Structure 1
């Protein structure tokens, strides 16, 4: 039973880590897209 419990706990930690990484990557993508649109808008204003 202990082996199964440690396995499930490890699985939960792994799932939490993957979910966190997905959220971080999504946030980075959002920031990049916002930054790129802001740069494009600034470039359009300059031109």
Structure 2
């Protein structure tokens, strides 16, 4: 495997009821929500 800029290879193991692809999708949604809230907080601080 060659390195490609801005590409990541990782594996996901799941022992629960969610398959790995669903688990990753849900984790990305949670991360995006946290990033949105963080950016909203930054905007609020800049307006003060």
Query: Taking structure 1 as the reference length, what is the TM-score of the superposition?
Result: 0.62
- Aligned residue number for residue 21 of structure 2: 4
Tell me if 1:21 matches 2:38.
yes
Following TM superposition, the consecutive aligned residue runs of length 4 or more in structure 1 with deviations greater than 4 angstroms are: none
Question: What RMSD in Å do the two structures reach over aligned CA positions?
Answer: 1.2
CA distance in 1, matches of 2:25, 2:42: 25
Q: What are the ranges of 5 or more consecutive residues in structure 1 without an aligned counterpart?
A: 32-47
Q: Which has the higher contact order (CA 8 A, sep 6+)?
A: 2
Instruction: Give the count of matched residue pairs.
Output: 31
Q: Report which of the two structures shows the higher radius of gyration computed on alpha carbons.
A: 1
Larger helix fraction of residues: 1
